[in-house]
Amino acid sequence: MNLEQLIGGTWGPGSGTRTLTVLDPATGEPVTTVPVASKADVGAAVKAARDTAPTWARTAPAARAAALHAAANAVEAATDGLARLMTAEMGKPTGDARDSIGAGVGTLRQYAELGPTHRGRALAGNDDAIDLMAYGPRGVVAAVTPWNDPVAVSCGLLGAALVTGNTVIYKPSERTPATGWRLARLLAPHFPDGVLSLLNGDGPVGAALAATAVDVVAHVGSTATGRAIAAACARTGAKALLENGGNDPLVVDADVDPGWAARQAALGAFANSGQICVAVERIYAHRDVAAPFLAALTAEANRWTIGPLVDTRLREAVHARVSEAVAAGARVLAGGEVPEGPGAYYPPTVLADCTDDMAVVREETFGPVAPVVAVDSFAEALARSADSPYGLAATVLTGSMNHAQRAWRELPAGTVKVNAVFGGAPGGAAHPRRGSGQGFGYGPELLDELTVTKAVHIEAPPGGW
């Protein structure tokens, strides 16, 4: 597989001298080697995008939508091969990878439908004048995407940016470069040269891109990287659109069935091996149900079969956090040990007797770990859930409508889910808070983030036209 950069409509290795090699997280064997873009490549991609931006912005919205529909069809037709690449690079089981790609295709089609209707509005002004709010593309968008859901997230950012008339420079994660390259190969033929560029590389490439004269840097990834991007955008004047880390709580109320609650908790903590931005990272269980809930959650953990973590570096970090918690008094009820054999596998892990001062509760772990804290009241659970530097999402399991209302009103998170750790209507959007980012990253509101608004007032000169 010959991975290349795409700059101004031309595929090639670029002018960089470095390469990166990705190891299969299931075997430790090399699966992808990719050339790393140089600073000159970054500059050339930005120039090509800037040069193409006026023409693409003037392209009829219906034509842009048609191109996106065609691109969605191409991605759907290549689902099996794309899923195999994703599995080889980041370990997601192939069936789950296909589902994720299907979600990405759906997102492309959603934006293809919404794009042509995302226009301006008339204002009530003087009878002899015309006042309107006109919307247009921001210009050049740098999309820096993650490895944990590389196709679905990329489709969201790329689809929304392209259909609103922006040109895009796409930098996929260095952990899933072949997946990003294949996605760009499928999308690019449906757009004019220079509208979509691809730059491969690691952190320095992303930093160079964020520091250039782009108009938006849209990033989904870690909080540390998001803050560095925000600082770079403050210097250049670009808009920073960020969905970053989370430390999402799950509250288990006193009146719920412990077995059902355990199944919800296991899904939230162990799906995709815990490598989901909105994974359950900490659990506050009412003391009245804590013991049967822990027993049921332990049984769930022992039943789950999961793929490897993305690499051994992450596995070491996850295990170190579990070990620190155990040293501080937590009890391991399931998992908690590094398995023998190849790959970056780590078992579903349940920790009891946890406290808020443990890093496994306080910080994002990004692995299949479910730390449980017992609480004496629902109010205490809400207060401890809210006491966090993050604000991405939260879940509450309760049979009380009063408690459900309190939860969504009081929890300082962009998304609050009641009685389901995942799910929601298509098109939903939320504002992450605090260390979890800023701006809408999904839904129709993402189109607003990627466009600028101009107030226009027109009236006739004295004597008329």
Average pLDDT (418-440) is 90
Residue 298: pLDDT band (50, 70, 90) is very high
Average pLDDT (159-181) is 98
* Tokens matching residue 111: 């934006």
CB 28 within 8 A of CB 343: yes
Predicted confidence at residue 68, as pLDDT, reads 98
pLDDT higher than 90, residue 429: no
Predicted confidence at residue 175, as pLDDT, reads 97
Predicted confidence at residue 144, as pLDDT, reads 98
Side chain identity at residue 309, one-letter code: L
Classify each residue of 259-271 as buried b or exposed e, where b means 16 or more C-beta atoms within 10 Å of its C-beta. Answer: eebbbbbbbbbbb
CB 7 within 8 A of CB 46: no
Question: Tens of pLDDT along 177-193?
Answer: 999 999 999 999 999 99
The whole-angstrom separation of Cα 412 and Cα 384 is 11
C-alpha triplet 288, 256, 416: angle, nearest 5°: 110
pLDDT higher than 90, residue 204: yes
Average pLDDT (223-246) is 96
Residue 436: pLDDT band (50, 70, 90) is very high
pLDDT higher than 80, residue 29: yes
Predicted confidence at residue 362, as pLDDT, reads 97
- Torsion angles phi and psi, residue 399, rounded to 5: -100, 5
Question: Tens of pLDDT along 359-377?
Answer: 999 999 999 999 999 999 9
SS3 track for the chain: CCCCEEECCEEECCCCCCEEEEECCCCCCEEEEEECCCHHHHHHHHHHHHHHHHHHHHCCHHHHHHHHHHHHHHHHHCHHHHHHHHHHHHCCCHHHHHHHHHHHHHHHHHHHHHHHHCCCEECCCCCCEEEEEEEEECCEEEEECCCCCHHHHHHHHHHHHHHCCCEEEEECCCCCHHHHHHHHHHHHHHCCCCCEEECCCCHHHHHHHHCCCCCEEEEECCHHHHHHHHHHHHHHCCEEEEECCCCEEEEECCCCCHHHHHHHHHHHHHHHHHCCCCCEEEEEEEHHHHHHHHHHHHHHHHHCCCCCCCCHHHHHHHHHHHHHHHHCCCEEEECCCCCCCCCCCCCCEEEECCCCCCHHHHCCCCCCEEEEEEECCHHHHHHHHHCCCEECEEEEECCCHHHHHHHHHHCCCCEEEECCCCCCCCCCCCCCEECCEECCCCCCHHHHHCEEEEEEEEECCCCCC
Beta strands per DSSP E along 191-294: 196-198, 216-220, 239-243, 248-252, 280-286
Predicted confidence at residue 50, as pLDDT, reads 98
Contacts with 449 (C-beta within 8 Å, 6 or more apart), sequence order: 160, 216, 218, 239, 241, 439, 440, 441
Question: Tens of pLDDT along 98-132?
Answer: 999 999 999 999 999 999 999 788 888 888 899 99
The DSSP result for 228-249, as a single string, is: HHHHHHHHH-PEEEEE----EE
Predicted confidence at residue 119, as pLDDT, reads 79
Question: Tens of pLDDT along 328-358?
Answer: 999 999 999 999 999 999 999 999 999 999 9
Side chain identity at residue 338, one-letter code: V
Predicted confidence at residue 126, as pLDDT, reads 85
Q: Of 158, 22, 28, nearest to 86 (Cα)?
A: 22
CB 74 within 8 A of CB 187: yes
Predicted confidence at residue 128, as pLDDT, reads 85
pLDDT higher than 80, residue 426: no
Residue 136: pLDDT band (50, 70, 90) is very high
Predicted confidence at residue 427, as pLDDT, reads 78
Predicted confidence at residue 403, as pLDDT, reads 98
